[in-house]
Amino acid sequence: HVRQLYALVAETLRYSPVLEKLLAGAALLQAEKKLQPQLAKVLVYDLLFGKGLKCGGRWKVLVRRHRARLEAELARLKVQQKVSRNEDLLAPAQAASPGASQVPRYVRVNTLKTCVDDVIDFFKRQGYSYLGKATSVEELMALSGKKFLLDLHLPELLVFPPQTDLHDNLLYTSGHIILQDKASCLPAFLLAPAAGSHVIDACAAPGNKTSHLAAILKNKGQIFAFDVDTKRLATMNTMLMRAGVTGFQLAQQDFLTVDPRDPRYSKVTYILLDPSCSGSGMVTRGLGEEAAPSAERLQALAGFQRKVLSHALSFPALRRLVYSTCSLHQEENEDVVHAVLQEHASAFRLVNTFPSWPCRGLATFPGAESCLRASPADTLTHGFFVAVLERCGERAAAPSSLPVAAEENPQHGETTEPGAAPKKRKRKKKQVK
């Protein structure tokens, strides 16, 4: 339900100028003094452009009371602008802007339950047209209708046109696919823990990254997931069970209170740290009316982020750590990494990961280009920041080699028949051994 609401708010943002005209023409806010403008936009969008009002109670009654006037205003607006479709009411600049309405629907295949080829085949049977592996961001931007692609960077990520609604799809409700933005898939992908490893997900809820880690681990190993919110952990537990995740321990605990010397974590070699941040990179965060965080707020967040990152690096067996935020602010990203690296320079180094990723860290300190950034304009994703830190002297393969291998792997390319499932090939290899 939260994700459905998230998609609803994203579309409301897209239609915001149109909704403002409808509210003004129907005088809805004047008639209903207690109705807030943001909520009014969401309700009117769902009534006129969405799938109909799903809510109950007084809000449903209130908006339906004005339905006739709102529909009349919508018809008048179409006549005035000489259009017949609701979509044509949007300004051309809106359609071209790389905001919420242009970010594709990314679908991560849950390899704990299925494989990419089988998911592709399923969608083809549902009438979707598979176009093969994308070769550029422009191809993703050009998607429309019931067409989809394999992502050009991540090997288990399918890309559908914006606003594709898969919340009622059988694959989603059964946990075979995860609806997760591409940028949000980067942290677990770049951490790349080996099967059998012990991993900490320090700020885990709502659990998409945790389930991604479990898929990479192939459910072999142990994941310790922490979050301070009881309700979020309960939701996360349900989500992980649906995704077929095993070998995880959820704890309602502030990660800063976790003792790195506790014997339970003596084998933890990988940590994924995605701490609280300003969220300024989330393109569907609100209705465009929220003010940017103040300098004081950013400094407070950065202080917490430095503290929690430094704490994570104190785990004795740690080999590799990924630090990520959904923020665009330098204070929460490059500045945090630089400050903590100065404290731990003798023990940890910044890894130059994912060389083919087009958007790099801001050049605020030597080596900052090793970090990754993401944005709607540059990568057609939410705004994101990722840094990979590795213990000095580690002989393990550098994470930068993993994305390269993924890009060069042709098994899901255009020449591959969807019927040839990777799982079968793996079983053959085991027989040979």
Specify whether the CB–CB gap between 273 and 323 falls below 8 A.
Answer: yes
Distance of alpha carbon 204 from alpha carbon 271, whole angstroms: 11
Q: Check if the beta carbon of residue 374 is closer than 8 Å to that of residue 359.
A: yes
Active site residue 392: no
Residue in 72, 98, 18 with CA at minimum distance from that of residue 374: 98
Rounded Cα distance between 335 and 348, Å, is: 16
Distance CA 215, CA 390 (A): 22
- The answer to whether 205 is a known ligand-binding residue is yes
The response to whether 227 counts as a known ligand-binding position is yes
371 is in an annotated binding site: no
Burial class (CB in 10 A: 0-12, 13-18, 19+), 192: buried
Q: What residues have CB less than 8 Å from 32, skipping those under 6 apart? A: 40, 62, 66
Cα separation, 119 vs 257, in Å, equals 41
DSSP state of 102: G
Residues 6+ apart with CB under 8 A from 253: 226, 228
208 in a labelled binding site: yes
Choosing from 185, 326, 371, 392, which is the catalytic residue? 326
Q: Is 209 annotated as belonging to a binding site?
A: yes
| 203 known member of a binding site | yes
Is 378 assigned to a binding site? Answer: no
Please state, as a whole number, how many other Cβ atoms lie within 10 Å of the Cβ of residue 76: 13
d(CA 186, CA 326): 11
**Residue 215, annotated as binding a ligand:** no
Q: Which amino acid is at 226?
A: F
Tell me how far apart the alpha carbons of residues 209 and 213 are, in angstroms, rounded to a whole number: 6
46 is in an annotated binding site: no
Decide: 332 and 298 in contact? Cβ < 8 Å: yes
- Residues marked as binding for S-adenosyl-L-methionine? 203-209, 227, 254, 274
Catalytic residues: 326
- Residues marked as binding? 203-209, 227, 254, 274
